[in-house]
Structure 1
Amino acid sequence: MNNDHEPSRRTFGNEDALPRIPLPALEDSCGKLLDWCTPLLTEEQLAETRAAVEAFQRPGGPGRKLQAALEEYDASEGVHSWLDTFWPYRYLGRRDRIALNANFFFLFRDAPGLPPGASQAERAAGLIAAALDYKLRLDDESIPPVAQRGRPLSMVQNKFLFSTTRIPGETQDTVRVPYSDAWPGPSRERHIVVFHRGAMFRMDVLGPDGRPHTLDELTTALTAITKTAVRPDAPVGHLTTMARAEWARARRTLLGDPANAASLDQVETALFCVCLEDLTPRDTLHACDQLLHGDSGNRWFDKALSLIVFADGTSGINVEHCGLDGTTVLSFVDAMLGESAEAHSTRSAAAPQGEPAVAPIEFILDDGLRGIVREADEAFAAYGAATATTTVSFDDFGGDRAKQLKISPDAFVQMAYQLAHKRAKGCTGATYESIATRHFRHGRTEAMRVVTPEAVRFATVMDDPAADEAARREAFRAAADAHVRRAKECQSGLVPEQHLWELQLIQKRRGEELGVTKPLTLFETPGWLVMRDDYLSTSSAPSTNIEYFGFGSTSEHCIGVAYVLLPDRFNVYLSTPRRVADQMHTFADRLREAVAELQALLETEAAAAPS
């Protein structure tokens, strides 16, 4: 920061002055692991876990050697955080498909200033203009750093918004990205990729001097694409739905033809994708589902940002997760939708320069590649069909109401999830919540485990016929307070899961070098496995500019719970494997009941309080 300690107003000006993420002590993480897993285990499972934890952290034991290696790494020159190698493995190391499994979406609210009856092309042009305005300001570092309670947050993820593409690998993926050694500074590319009916087009949205085209020019070019696009017999976008090693092999085959290599280069360097859909969503849930997985031939799921616009102008975004978390994308979306397209176009100095250059992006496929594309299409369509989703909307509850009832809004909804799950499935299940840690240098998220002893007691007391209203209320408030305490722990960075996971990964990478070659029994214990076997995977995206947020579930019995908790309303998108769809719908019903019941419980307390 500056000499007077005032935060810099340059986008990336505060990064080096942000505090480093603390590296937890081994003993602390081992102790907290036991605390966190205890509510989910039997006595026998806990005893087995405790023995493995003691062996792991004993003097001279494997945990000590791995911790010493991590401490040495954390102190190394050029390392921003002890998590620097964890994040690439966590996201780029996964070998299943990222489409539906890892990418997430936002459904946008209506655009400000867009006239009723505006065309699909006009809506898309407005979004392009807004994104270009943001990109040009980002290049100049004139996007104000996001602050939280007066403290600047890490903005480094913003470098991955434009021209960033995940590249499939046999054992681990890589990323093609600006602001890197291979591609210094911001992207100077001038084009986007537009999809329509599975056909792909390169469209220059910035002129030779870097100034954006006008809204009218963008609209004209997009309209022409919608009128001329013919669906190819094998849309290559389907390949991005494959498991990563399979996609890597298909990509290597594609690259065997120089024409395909040039086409891939255009896609991978493009600023972002715009996907124009033929269909008009039947309803909000249909729009959400299409944003999550939709027509995979009309997507490039490896692209960091894909703006999706339906035939009626309904729109949203699909995001590749490896370099971008929800909070960063929300800031981008808030900037896009916070002003009219005309305001963005004017500020970016858009100038008339003729219709944007548009050219088809074509791939040469032999019969083998066509077969791979068709198989990918069929497999992903079946995978999407095997996913059940629903939405739950509350127009009579939001963050303001929770605060009026003197309770943390997030704690309220998380306890509602716990109560609804216990009533729907008859058990308490491991629950993940993503906690942002961008107040640290290069900070991203921390893994919070929601099930505390207080949460278990709360869910039990709520359905205990012998418990009166006061007892239920006391249990609810105790659980909410415990939730807030744990969330603050996660915000501090001094929590166990990612720390211990990174120690496990160090052994995989360097075990022989460090003399830690025997299997680590800690990571085979019920405590580690049960705590991380999600029954609920939850994350929030608070923004007035989105209607819904969503992602896929993380296991065969998991319900993905993506929620938009605003001052005056609360919207939830749920997803789960279709074979357990009945349980998800029961959970949704119980959630509606729980929110009403918990409000009523606190309202009687408020009514009884002296004025």
Structure 2
Amino acid sequence: MLRTSVKSLASHCKRLHQAKKFADQLLKTGSRAVYSTRSGSDWEYLQRSIVPTDYFQDSLPRLAIPKLEATCDNYLESQQVILTPEEWEDTREKTMKFMEEDGKYLQQELKKLDKANKHTSYVSKPWFDMYLKSRLPIVLNFNPFMSFVDDPKPEYRTQLLRSTNMIISSLRFLKSLRENILEPDVYHLKPEKTKNEKFDKFCRKVPRRFAWHGALLHSRQSAFPLDMSQYGRLFNSTRIPKEGKDEFLTDPDARHMLVMRNGHFYVFDVLNNEGHIESPEKIMGHIQYILQDNRPPPEYPLGYFTAENRDKWAAYRDQLLAQGNGPTLNKIDTALFALCLDDKNSNDPNDITRQFLHGDGMNRWFDKSFSLIMTPDSRACVNFEHAWGDGVAVLRYFNEVFKDSTENQFVHPSTAVPNVNSDSAVERLEFELDASLKEGVQTAKANFDKLVGSLDLHHLEYDNYTKDFVKAKKISPDSIMQLAIQMAYYRQNRKFVATYESCSTAAYKHGRTETLRSATMDTKRATEMIVDRGNKESPDDLFDALVKCSKTHGELTKNAAMGKGFDRHLFALRTLAEENNFFPHKIFEDPAYQKLNHIILSTSTLSSPAVIIGGFAPVVPDGYGIGYAIESNRIGFNVTSYPPATNVREFIDCLQISLNDLFDVMNKASPRSSS
């Protein structure tokens, strides 16, 4: 998402000339920054970056509040795609009045609030609150999953070996992060030129307050450090249910991890008293001990509570605390992360999605910041709670753990499991439950079964062409995927609807995401040209329509990643108005505003060589949740929906036809058009 956007950030560096003065001085003096770590064995660290992990954090630019006029213009432009001319004219009048009156006041108040909170971004708190105040179950409504590709070495594809190696890699990531020697997140536009030791050595010489500017200067605006503030809640963290609004709990001093199997909870220390990683063989022995525990599932599995309505779960938690279960719950809440050892293998992509997106509910604790889920044949995924952070932090962890656990295995098929006295080291957690709590578990299970039973899903693997083919035509691969989605929905329903594509704003301090409104007048025009009258249009005209879509999509991506979309700005203004009981503004009462924010097509790209499949549920009952990837060897879609309002299999069929149509357009264009 950031590739086409960050090029323009340098124009906003007011202090870049100061960084250059420092850089010139540093190059002359050859001064060196000093870094250190506490004592520890080299094997315990995933990386030893010469640039501290948090080195760029203080110098990151702040997310600017967009101009109100630009936000209103962009809002109306998106509305034009889904409204009739008469509806759009009515919305335009309301929007213009808002811009001139109430919006002007709210904009001033938002700027005052932003000026008083320079340590963060204007959207950070309201975005956290949006998640934490929702009373919906976090299962399906918020938690997504990403599934790892198989270990390339077949002999390591066992639940015991892969679990152990992924635990070790996770701990190596954790240790590197906390020792401040994990490589900082930097987006490299030209990694072949800037992702190297020369860049790192230069950056570490620049004073912290100019570090971001120095990175831009040295890379000639080709390397952009990213916000890493969310990493603090990656480990030892849980979302705690509270009436009205949930809270986060993070305890970085805890040294144990949580393992779930067959609905039972187990904890054991994976870091010793000095903070060192326990031996891989000992961890392997504890995992084997748990795998060999063949007791039946508990009669009342508490994992179902975490899939409940948040107020109901908060009430159940209060009952659990009143029954004396506080210390036991605390061991779950403060665990480094959860490992869920499932007893079921899944080979069909649809079954894999069901298992990793929601499972049976019994062997999950959905509130944990993230859970590693592992099947007996070593298929693995990360399912994560979304309130604390976005895909940037989780995907970094995901990619690093995959790479390390498949290249630097610490236990092997020949590793002998030692006698590590797991009987005393591994604790199986037990709860005191009264009749009311037992009834609550049964109710929560019934609600969970009803919820996940309402979900339908299907997938598409497509290989007629790939990312390289599209790029050779000088068209954005992501724009083609988004156009295919528009065409599929139009083919199925003969209308255009609100569409959401997630775009990170991690290039700014405490950035979260911005909505990329990928349904545009250009995609509408191209869709109608291809679907309604493709055989009447010339190949060159059709191809030109694709190029126009690509250019518009590129501009939208750039603006969204730079925080110049309209969604988060309007969201912040509306939140501010609600908090101050200020309700005369007609724009937020306009049915068109509700329509645009009723996201029928919720989309997100999952492009990583470590990801084989990923997904999430729709955000509205009549919508689709669309995870997709376009790689050098494949195109993949993983789509969810809630019938009978939607038909996911029909949608997948329409997607396939649309991808074929786009292939024909790109293939038939004259050399002049595609040059």
TM-score when normalising by structure 1: 0.92
Distance in 1 separating the partners of 2:553 and 2:674: 27
Letter in 1 for 2:450: A
Partner of 1:326: 391
Between 262-271 and 462-471, the greater mean CA deviation after superposition: 462-471
Q: Distance in 2 between matches of 1:607 and 1:29?
A: 39
The correspondence for 1:504, drawn from 574, 578, 581, is: 574
Q: Which of residues 352, 369, 372 is equivalent to 1:307?
A: 372
Output the CA distance in 2 between the equivalents of 1:119 and 1:460: 50
- Classify the secondary structure of the residue corresponding to 1:56: helix
**Structure 2 residue 139 is matched with structure 1 residue 120:** no
When residues 608 and 495 of structure 1 are mapped into structure 2, their CA distance, relative to the original with a 3 A threshold, is closer
SS in structure 1 at match of 2:644? helix
1:477 aligns with 2:533: no
Would you say the 8 A contact 1:119–1:312 is kept in 2? Answer: yes
Shift of 1:127: 1.2
- Secondary structure of the equivalent of 2:155? coil
What is aligned with 1:458?
526
Q: Is the 8 A contact 1:112 1:340 kept in 2?
A: no
Deviates more, 1:239-248 or 1:561-570: 561-570
1:565 aligns with 2:638: no
Correspondence for 2:254 among 186, 189, 195: 189
1:157 paired residue number: 230
Size of the aligned set, in residue pairs, is: 589
Q: Deviations over 1:287-339 (max 9, x none)?
A: 12110000211111010110000121111110100122112211111100112
Distance change (3 Å), C-alpha of 1:430 and 1:602: same
Aligned to 2:178: 139
Alpha-carbon contact 1:431-1:451 (below 8 Å) kept: yes
Report the 3-state secondary structure (helix = DSSP H, G, I; strand = E; otherwise coil) of the residue aligned with 1:338: helix
Map of 1:586 onto structure 2: 650
- Tell me the residue number matched to 2:442: 374
The Cα shift of 1:167 comes to 1.0
State the match for 1:182 in structure 2: none
> Structure 1 residue 433 and structure 2 residue 501: aligned?
yes
Separation in 2, partners of 1:428, 1:220: 56
CA contact (8 A) 2:186 2:226 kept: yes
Q: Name the CA distance, whole Å, in 1 between partners of 2:465 and 2:353.
A: 22
Alignment partner of 1:491 is 2:585 = no
Q: Which amino acid aligns with 2:69?
A: E
Q: Deviations over 1:187-234 (max 9, x none)?
A: 121111110110101121122222223333222211211222431111
SS in structure 2 at match of 1:508: helix
Instruction: Give the secondary structure class of the aligned counterpart of 1:138.
Output: helix
Shift of 1:345: 4.6
Summarize deviations over 1:426-473 as a string: whole Å, max 9, x none.
Answer: 211111000111111111211111111111111111121532322222
Cα distance change on mapping 1:4 and 1:610 into 2, 3 Å: closer
Secondary structure at 1:274's aligned position in 2? Answer: strand
Distance in structure 2 (CA, Å) of the matches to 1:4 and 1:606: 49
| SS of residue in 1 equivalent to 2:139 | coil
In the alignment, is the contact (CA less than 8 A) between 1:73 and 1:79 conserved in 2?
no
Give the SS at the match of 1:255: helix
Match of 1:338 in 2: 403
Compute the displacement of 1:104 (Å). Answer: 0.5
Matched residue of 1:572: which SS? strand
Structure 1 CA distance for aligned equivalents of residues 572 and 546 of structure 2: 34
Residues 102 and 584 in structure 2, CA contact (< 8 A), matched pair in contact too: no
Runs (4+) of structure 1 exceeding 6 A deviation are: 5-8, 608-611
**Cα-Cα RMSD:** 2.2
What SS does the corresponding residue of 1:176 show, helix, strand or coil? strand
Q: Does 1:4 align with 2:23?
A: yes
Secondary structure at the counterpart of residue 292 of structure 2: helix
Distance 1:87 1:213 in 2: 38
Which residue of 588, 600, 603 maps to 2:667? 603
Taking the aligned partners of 1:345 and 1:282, their CA distance within structure 2 comes to 27
| Alignment partners' CA distance in 1, 2:406 and 2:559 | 41
Retained in 2: the 8 A contact 1:305–1:320?
yes
For 1:283, which of 343, 348, 364 is the aligned residue? 348
Q: Specify the SS of the correspondent of 2:70.
A: helix
Identity %: 29
3-state DSSP class of the match of 1:340? helix
Equivalent AA in structure 1 for residue 664 of structure 2: A
Q: Aligned ranges for residues 68-107 of structure 1 at < 5 Å?
A: 68-107=108-147
Shift of residue 65, structure 1, vs aligned partner: 2.1
Mapping 1:189-588, distance limit 5 Å:
189-228=254-293, 229-258=295-324, 260-340=325-405, 343=408, 345=410, 354=420, 357-462=425-530, 463-464=532-533, 465-511=535-581, 516=582, 518-582=583-647, 584-588=648-652
Query: How far has the Cα of 1:606 moved from its partner?
Result: 5.5
| Equivalent in 67, 74, 82 of residue 25 of structure 1 | 67
SS of the residue corresponding to residue 316 of structure 2 reads helix
Structure 1 spans left out of the alignment, 5+ residues: 179-186
Q: Secondary structure at the match of 2:669?
A: helix
Gaps of 5+ in 2: 1-15, 27-32, 34-49, 190-222, 412-416
Deviation string for 1:357-388 (max 9, x for gaps)? 21011111111111111111111112111100
Q: Distance in 2 between matches of 1:567 and 1:158?
A: 30
- Distance in 2 between the 1:606 and 1:111 partners? 43
State the shift of 1:413 in Å. 0.7
The answer as to whether partners of 1:112 and 1:337 remain within 8 angstroms in 2 is: no
Question: Is the alpha carbon distance of 1:598 and 1:367 closer, same or farther for their aligned partners in structure 2, counting shifts above 3 Å?
Answer: same
Aligned to 1:176: 249
Give the SS at the match of 2:141.
coil
**TM (normalized to structure 2)?**
0.84
Letter in 2 for 1:431: T
Separation in structure 2 between the aligned mates of residue 417 and residue 100 of structure 1, nearest angstrom = 21
Q: Distance in 2 between matches of 1:571 and 1:304?
A: 27
Deviation at 1:563, TM superposition (A): 1.3
Q: Is the 8 A contact 1:396 1:568 kept in 2?
A: no
Q: Is the 8 A contact 1:405 1:606 kept in 2?
A: no
* Cα distance in 2 for residues equivalent to 1:545 and 1:422: 32
